[in-house]
């Protein structure tokens, strides 16, 4: 699976949009971009995923550049409960890699009042 690069930490004011970047310049054509987050003392939680189109769900939006070498996770109205470590992961969906997830160091997002 392709490697990802994320900033180690970011801050955001409560109520504002949080934009978390991720670089995945070696992504392959059949690899999806996944985002998970881990709130302190809990297991990781799936947020969103995409292949090449922008995606939106009730939690977040995912913007993938046209060349697919980078993406941005957007939390439109961050709350204190969004303070967590956010992981950007690329992997093949299905296929012979057994679908395993390889976690990098992630971005620690701190939402301030």
Which residues contact other proteins by CB under 8 A?
34, 36, 41-47, 49, 85, 87, 92-95, 98-106
Nearest approach, Cβ of residue 65 and other proteins (Å): 22
Structural contact between residues 16 and 77, judged by C-beta atoms closer than 8 angstroms: yes
Cα torsion through 44, 10, 29, 50, rounded to 10: 60
CB-nearer residue toward other proteins: 14 or 74? 74
Distance between first and last Cα of the chain: 37
Nearer to other proteins, 46 or 112 (CB): 46
Tell me whether residue 84 is exposed, middle or buried, using C-beta atoms within 10 angstroms of its C-beta: 0 to 12, 13 to 18, 19 or more.
buried
Q: Residue 15 or 95: which CB sits closer to other proteins?
A: 95
- Min dist CB 38 to other proteins, Å, is 8
Q: How far is the CB of 105 from other proteins (least distance, A)?
A: 5
């Amino acid at each position: 699976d392709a490697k990802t690069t994320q900033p180690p930490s970011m801050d955001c004011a409560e109520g504002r949009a949080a934009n978390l970047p991720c670089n995945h310049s070696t992504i392959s054509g059949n690899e999806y971009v996944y985002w998970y987050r881990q709130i302190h003392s809990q297991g990781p939680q799936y947020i969103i995923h995409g292949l090449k189109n922008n995606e939106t769900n009730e939690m977040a939006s995912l913007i993938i550049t046209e060349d697919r070498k980078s993406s941005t996770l957007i939390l439109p109205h961050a709350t204190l409960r969004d303070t967590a470590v956010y992981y950007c992961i690329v992997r093949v969906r299905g296929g012979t890699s057994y679908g395993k997830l390889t976690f990098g160091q992630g971005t620690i997002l701190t939402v301030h009042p």
